[in-house]
Amino acid sequence: MTAAPSEPPAPPARTRRARGAAGARRPVYDASSLLAVAVQEFNARGYDATSMEDLSRAAGITKSSFYHHVSGKEELLRAALNRALDGLFAILEEPAAQEGAALDRLRHIIFRQVEVLTSELPYVTLLLRVRGNTETERWALARRRAFDATIASLVADAVADGEVRAGVEPSLAARLLSGTVNSIIEWYRPGRPGSESLPGEVVRIVSEGIIPPA
C-alpha cells in the first residue's frame, strides 16, 4: 500500500538566547522546543483560543523572539500535525504492514498505532482534536481519512479471506478499531504500570473480544 504524501521536512531549527530582567538568562529555545510548548498550549486551550501572546508567555520569551523562529501559530500547528501523521503513515510502509495475511497486517498496524500514539501523545492528541476550521486542519483531516481508508480496506480483505467473522461490515469495524485506539489519548499517561504491554494488550482485546460468546 502506498502512504499519502507527507509534507517536506521543516527547515533547520534556529536557536537564540535571550536575556530577561537584570540580565538574567532565559531558557534557550529552538524551533523544536518551541513546538513542544505550542502543542502543550494548543491542547490545553484549544488552537483557536491560543494566541501568540499566550505562546510567548508560556515559553518565557517575547513575541518578537518567538517570531524569530516561526512565522506564526499556523506554522506550528502544521508542524505538529505533520509529526503525528508522518508517524502513522510510516507504519503503512513497514514490511509487516504490507506483506502477509490481511489479518496479520491489521494486527501489526494496530500494535504500531498504539506505540506511535503513546510515544507522540501530545502531537496525536492535537491531531485527533482538530475540527477543520483552518486550511491546515482540513489538510490533516484529509490525511486522517486516507489512513482510516487503508484500515477499512484491510478489514474488507480479512473478511473476504475468511479471517474475520462473516457478516462484519468493514467500514463499521474500521471505525470501531480506530475509536478504540484513539480513545487512549483520553486516559493514557506515560509511566503508568502496564504501559509497555499496552500495544499487545490492545491487539489481544480487539482480536479476542472482552465478553465471551453466550
pLDDT per position as a tens digit, 7-61: 544 433 443 444 444 455 555 677 788 899 999 999 999 999 999 999 999 999 8
The predicted pLDDT at position 25 comes to 56
Q: Phi/psi at 116 (nearest 5 deg)?
A: -65, -45
pLDDT per position as a tens digit, 194-209: 788 999 999 999 888 8
Mean pLDDT for the stretch of residues 80-85? 97
Instruction: Please report the domains of the chain, with CATH numbers, ordered by start residue.
Output: 25-70 (1.10.10.60), 75-208 (1.10.357.10)
Rounded to two decimals, what is the model's pTM?
0.82
What integer best gives the mean pLDDT of the chain? 86
Alpha helices for the chain (secondary structure H)? 31-45, 52-59, 63-69, 73-92, 95-98, 102-119, 121-129, 135-160, 170-182, 198-208
Judged against a pLDDT cut of 50, whether residue 167 lies above it is answered with yes
Q: Are 42 and 50 in contact (CB under 8 A)?
A: yes
DSSP 51-64: -HHHHHHHHTS-HH
191 band by pLDDT with thresholds 50, 70 and 90: confident
Q: What is the largest CA-CA distance in the chain?
A: 73
The predicted pLDDT at position 28 comes to 65
Q: Which residue type does 197 have?
A: S
- Residues 80 and 43: their CA atoms lie apart, in Å, by 11
